[in-house]
Structure 1
Amino acid sequence: MEKSARPLPRWPFALAVAVLALLPLLPALENGFVWDDEMNLTANEHFRGLGAEHLRWMATNFHGGHYQPLTWLSYALNHAAGGLHPRGYIAVNLALHALNAALVFILFTHLLPRDGHERRRLAWAVLGALFYALHPLRVESAVWVTERRDVLSLFFLLLSLLAWLRAQDGSHRRGLFYALSLLTFAASLLSKAWGIVFPAVLLILYWRPLHRHSWKKIALELAPFAVLAVGFALLAAAAQSEEAMASLDAHGWDARLMQAAWSPAFYLEKTALPLDLSPLYLLRGDFNPWSPAMIAGAAVTVVITGTLILRARRFPALLAGWLVFLVLLAPISGLAQSGSQLAADRYTYLAGIVPALGLAAAGLWASRRWPQQKKLFAVGMVVVVALLTFATTRQTQVWESADTLWSQAIEADETNYVAYFNRATTGKLGGYEGALADLDRAIELDPGYAAAYARRGEIRVNARQDAAARADLDTAISLNPAPAQPYNNRGILNLRAGKTAKAEADFGDALERDPELYEAYVNRGLLYHQQGKSTAALADYGAALALRPDVWQVYFNRGLLLAETGQTEAAIEDFTHALSLNPDFAGTYEQRALLYRKLGQTKAAEADLAAVRRLTTLP
């Protein structure tokens, strides 16, 4: 029998795990904003400040279908420190992931079975934490800025669990640690609501490994956690818009239950063999819950669950771990389907801790069972972690840009029509022709894909392929009359064709569907301008500028209208504002010069005309 070693400090091991978890992800600092980062960050001004109005928005909004005030606050601090450069945001994500890796190690030192050799136990805790942190399934949450909510909420949830475990060890400061656990649990929920199942996890842990059976005391201890969980579950349900949350008609209970049964097997497979990872495992419109793949996955889940229940007396810890895994996956398993994904790598950021702990426990058990082979087991685990590290480094490159992201999704599934659409919409690969080719392919794969017709129509509007554009836009509107942009683009076609009444109707329909579509205000303002309806045109230009005060062309157009209606000083003010946004357009100087002359301000007019000559003279 091995001699017990004196207790070793854990912080050097935790620090080593954090550093090792961070290093392979550092190339992600060169990545850019991708996918929903536009909706959440680059096109969202509400979080860019720490004033009362900004804080009110963070505390009350459901932007993007989530209630996450602490996550918004973290973005606001990022913005205050470095504006909108993606590197700073990604760096914070990576730092939180490294901290989480260290906390996972500390958690494993609490949960792994006690061993006669403390060094061996710590070694397997390190290896298990690295298996978790360096797995390519972690990359999506760690490097995608939008998923700050994952890394931040897990940070607080791990702190909560560690404090709760400390409160259970008989410490005289039990009340303090219990309060700390409750507080950090609330912070986790304020970052993202997926911790709503935490009370169920604690209930399982009371059974194993704590062996507690005083159910009245357990109920009293869990009650505050349950109250918080229920409250935030209701908030999460309210945050899910009708567009994000699938209806039962669109995705019935049979589909939801089969998807929920299939997903644990899917995530186990990807954990064991992380190949063909994708940012979007597509939930297709013709989803068949009774396909062979779904039935096979569900069968694996049922067999594992049934076997562990039957062997619960002999292997209670295995059943407890499996139940925790199922509970952690429950909110994102498909029971409350949201979005177009059947599954997602990021969904393992919390649940992935369980298989990592199981692997570490298996390695520790095998090392005790066959001590002569203990080095072989450890070396094998090191090799596995090294291979995962290599795969993780490659996976960070997938998230470099929209082109790399959606090209990977297409490589993983050549029939993923949403990936083709997203690459055409946000990528730059192949330019105009490449975008059209991707949209053609998306429509070929899904002839009812309204958004693809709308996007192809918009591209053709810009390319002045008016007949083809009109056909695409008419098809998009017939398939889905809800989005505003197709009406706006069709209005542009009607305006070009001189069909002013139809153009006005289209712009009105666009604004009825989206009152914040500034392009429709601009376009209708141009229409009213051409028709001599100056009051209506000025109102639309003003509405557009209220939504987007950074578009110089609108100031220029309004300046022209103000000049035509004799409002000279107001026109000069608009031209001056346009020049502050774009000082290189000669036409603005020319128009302002005319107005300065009208007012008798000769020197100002001559200065503007000199700017015109400077900008229009060939080098």
Structure 2
Amino acid sequence: MDDSRAPRLSVTDVVVALVLAAITLAVFTPALGAGWVDYDDDANFLRNSGYRGLGPAQLRWMLTAVIMGHWTPVTWLTHGIDYVLWGMQPGGYHLGNVLLHAANAAIFFVLAGRLLARALPGTGAMPLRIGAAAAALAFALHPLRAESVAWITERRDVLAALFYLLTALTWLRATEHDGATRRRWYLASLGLFALGLLSKSMIVSLPLVLLVLDIYPLGRLDPREWRSPASRALVLEKLPYLAMAAATVLITSLTMRASVRVTSLDLYPPAARLAMAAYSLVFYPWKMVAPLDLMPMYEVPLRVSLLQPPFVLAALGVVVITATLFLVRRPWPAGLAVWIVYALTLAPVSGLIHAGPQIAADRFSYLPLLGFCLLVGAGVAAGAARTDMVQLAPVVAAVWIAALGALTWSQVQIWRDTDTLFAYSLAVDPDCGWCHAQYGGALGNRGDLEGAIPHLQRAAALRPNRFRDQAYAGLALLRVGRAADAVPYLERAVAAQPDSHEAHANLAAALSEVGRTADAAPHTERARALAR
């Protein structure tokens, strides 16, 4: 391409991008008054001094630290800057998250404008600008974003997304130029991708996303001519991205397994993982349309099977959606392209490789739903380009986005503190075992054992085979002098994890307190043997 014909960012575009960032900042203002929450913030920040500063020791720690299975050195670097600026004041950390998210809104507006221009040739500049703004706001102001932005721990989401969007934008700029200018944009894209991978590994699918964009809307690649020299050149163009992504996948696999975060195939065999993946694929688009009863934790059901109604319906939905979009790919290629990009981006957290107690999480939607936001923008742009809808389409979009913003303003506030977070969670789902366990643990850590015990007992009742739930409930009861009540929980804890010396020791103590010294003796001996 002649460099002089490459699209340029106009002053109007810059102004609109800044306005979108300002709107995003305004909607997420409640996050600035929030504190730490006893949901990973405690482990990542309150009990962790490794990141506090920018000296050689801290930088070395950032490069090597793996916390709860995550290796994110660039994210930790930003938190080191937070500490230098703000110390342990959470408001400064929240400000960083909000600013990054606002920047993402502005960058996505620019990227959306370029992609919509290729997808809707012949559409005027103003309708395209309106559509791109609608796409950016549908992304930035959706309540699903609240978790990633208002939770300090999830800085890695918004930071990785910043580099993800910049990688795509600079790569797109490279496709619009030739010669030295193209090489500069291409190298910038590779560097930004590396920074993104070092912020959070979830962006590993981006090279495949770029290949999809080559097919549609850019039209650089014809899938029917994979063997042609032009197609091979486009694939070769992605090899450096793929190499970095492959290295990141390997590192992430090792760090996750070393921290015992990945669930085993014994717990969730391949069929169960397919069931979870199908559920995930329909869950997030549904929540985008109906963002109600959002939760910080959507627990994995006690039983996961493709034969259970929710998973059967999800699998059927995936098949029907995929088949339909494939059949209409010629008149409407955008639908299939968005669906493929969505599936690729969601894959690392879809359940195929499962870790943690969740079947889904709002934060997992931050990047995967970008394509659906582009579809919203395309619809608004197409409507704004029609003389009979030139006023209606933007108004309808504005009303919908304003409603989203109001919901987001409210959703952000559940992250104000630990009590607010779990009061909300248990109001939405009183049978969330993880929520009861987490809140009970938080209350226990602050010395309120009497307040913690009902939550720990409820968690143990909801998840009878979970070692930690039984152990924590029993230990809390033992500490308040209710040894007789503690015994059944501690017995179940020993049965669930017979190689835990702490479980045996606690059970021995409880049995001794109720006068069952003969029963306590073997557990005392077993605890000593395991502790050696």
TM-score (normalised: structure 1): 0.77
Aligned-residue offset at 1:199: 0.8
Contact 1:129 1:356 in 2 (8 A): yes
Partner of 1:307: 324
Match of 1:117 in 2: 124
Alignment check: 8 A CA contact 1:47 1:72 kept: yes
Whether the 8 Å contact between 2:483 and 2:513 is mirrored in structure 1 is no
Paired letter, 2:294: L
Matched, 1:411 2:427: yes
The alignment status of 1:22 with 2:25, answered yes or no, reads: yes
Give the whole-Å Cα distance in 1 for the aligned partners of 2:505 and 2:54.
35
Correspondences of 1:118-267 after superposition (within 5 Å): 118-172=125-179, 173-213=181-221, 214-241=230-257, 243-267=260-284
Residue 431 to residue 125, structure 1, CA distance change in 2 (3 Å): same
Distance change in 2, residues 1:466/1:158 (3 Å): same
Task: From 317, 337, 359, give the equivalent of 2:376.
Answer: 359
Residues 510 and 345 of structure 1, relative CA distance in 2, 3 Å threshold = farther
5 Å-filtered alignment, 1:181-580, equals: 181-213=189-221, 214-241=230-257, 243-368=260-385, 370-427=386-443, 431-481=448-498, 485-486=502-503, 489=506, 508=528
Cα distance in structure 2, aligned partners of 1:120 and 1:303: 32
In the alignment, the residues of structure 1 paired with residue 262 and residue 143 of structure 2 have an alpha-carbon distance, to the nearest angstrom, of 28
Report the counterpart of residue 58 of structure 2 in structure 1.
54
Q: Deviations over 1:504-549 (max 9, x none)?
A: 868756856xxxxxxxxxxxxxxxxxxxxxxxxxxxxxxxxxxxxx
CA apart distance, 1:495:
9.3
Maintained 8 Å contact 1:141/1:151: yes
Give the letter for the 1:193 counterpart.
Answer: S
For 1:504 and 1:295, the matched residues in 2 are separated by 48
Q: Which amino acid aligns with 2:326?
A: I
How many pairs does the alignment contain? 506
SS in 2 for 1:131: helix
1:288 partner SS: coil
Report deviation, 1:445: 2.2
**Cα contact 2:502–2:527 (8 A) shared by 1:** no
Q: Return the alpha-carbon distance in structure 1 between the equivalents of residues 144 and 375 of structure 2.
A: 17
Which of 89, 92, 102 matches 1:85?
Answer: 89
In 2, distance between residues paired with 1:393 and 1:509?
Answer: 54
Greater Rg over alpha carbons, structure: 1
Change (3 A) 1:481 1:501: closer
The 1-side partners of 2:500 and 2:105 are apart by 43
| Deviation digits for residues 246-292 of structure 1 (CA, Å, limit 9, x no counterpart) | 11111011111122122121111000000111111101332233221
C-alpha displacement of 1:81: 2.0
Paired position in structure 1 for 2:68: 64
* 1:189/1:295 CA distance change after superposition, 3 Å: same
Sort the Cα spacing of 1:191 and 1:95 in 2 relative to 1 into closer, same or farther, 3 A: same
Once the two structures are overlaid, the 10-residue window that deviates more, 73-82 or 109-118, is 109-118
Contact residue 135 and residue 377 of structure 2 kept, 8 A: yes
Counterpart residue type for residue 154 of structure 2: E
- For 1:304 and 1:440, how far apart are their aligned partners in 2? 42
Is the 2:148–2:366 contact (alpha carbons within 8 Å) kept by the matching residues of 1?
yes
What's the counterpart of residue 35 of structure 2?
32
1:257–1:472 CA distance, 2 compared to 1 (3 A): closer
8 Å CA contact 1:137–1:349 kept in 2: the answer is yes
The 3 A distance-change label for structure 1 pair 508 and 19 is farther
Asked if the contact 2:282–2:317 (Cα under 8 Å) also holds between the matched residues in 1, the reply is: yes
Partners of 1:343 and 1:353 lie apart in 2 by 17
CA RMSD of aligned residues (A): 2.6
CA distance in 1, matches of 2:63, 2:104: 25
Q: Deviations over 1:2-57 (max 9, x none)?
A: xxxx9553111111111111112111122221201111111112222333333222
Say whether 1:103 aligns with 2:107: yes
CA distance in 1, matches of 2:66, 2:450: 37
Match of 2:47 in 1: 43
- The answer for unaligned runs of 5 or more in structure 2 is 1-8, 222-229
Cα pair distance change 1:488/1:80, threshold 3 Å: farther
Quick check: 1:108–1:125 contact (8 Å CA) kept in 2?
yes
**How far off its partner does 1:497 sit?**
9.3
The residue type equivalent to 1:262 in the other structure is: Y
CA distance in 2, matches of 1:210, 1:157: 18
The farther-off stretch of 115-124 and 265-274 is 115-124
- SS of residue in 2 equivalent to 1:337: coil
Q: How far apart in 2 are the matches of 1:188 and 1:15?
A: 23
Deviates more, 1:347-356 or 1:445-454: 445-454
Distance 2:406 2:281 in 1: 25
The DSSP-based 3-state class of the residue aligned with 1:230 is: helix
Asked if 1 retains the 8 angstrom alpha-carbon contact of 2:30 and 2:412, the reply is yes
Question: Does the 8 Å CA contact 1:115/1:121 hold for their aligned counterparts?
Answer: no
The SS at the match of 2:359 is strand
The whole-number CA distance in structure 2 between the counterparts of 1:314 and 1:169 is: 26
Q: Answer whether contact 1:139 1:392 (CA < 8 A) is retained.
A: yes
Q: Distance in 2 between matches of 1:477 and 1:402?
A: 30
Q: 1:70 to 1:314 in 2, by over 3 A?
A: same
Report % sequence identity.
35
Indicate the SS of the match to 1:154: helix
Q: Which is worse superposed, 479-488 or 101-110?
A: 479-488
1:492–1:93 distance in 2 versus 1, CA, 3 Å: farther
Residues 32, 338 of structure 1: CA spacing in aligned structure 2 closer, same or farther, 3 A cutoff? same
Aligned residue type for 2:297: L
- With over 3 angstroms needed to count, the CA separation of the structure-2 counterparts of 1:495 and 1:50, relative to structure 1, is farther
User: In structure 1, what is the Cα distance between the partners aligned to 2:74 and 2:26?
Assistant: 27
Measured in 2, the distance between the counterparts of 1:74 and 1:507 equals: 43
Q: Deviations over 1:126-185 (max 9, x none)?
A: 121011100000011111111111011111111111100000002551100000000000
Give the aligned residue type for 2:406: F
Higher mean C-alpha displacement, 326-335 vs 428-437: 428-437
The verdict on how the C-alpha distance between 1:484 and 1:162 changes in structure 2, with shifts beyond 3 A counting, is: farther
Where 2:302 maps in the other structure, the secondary structure is coil
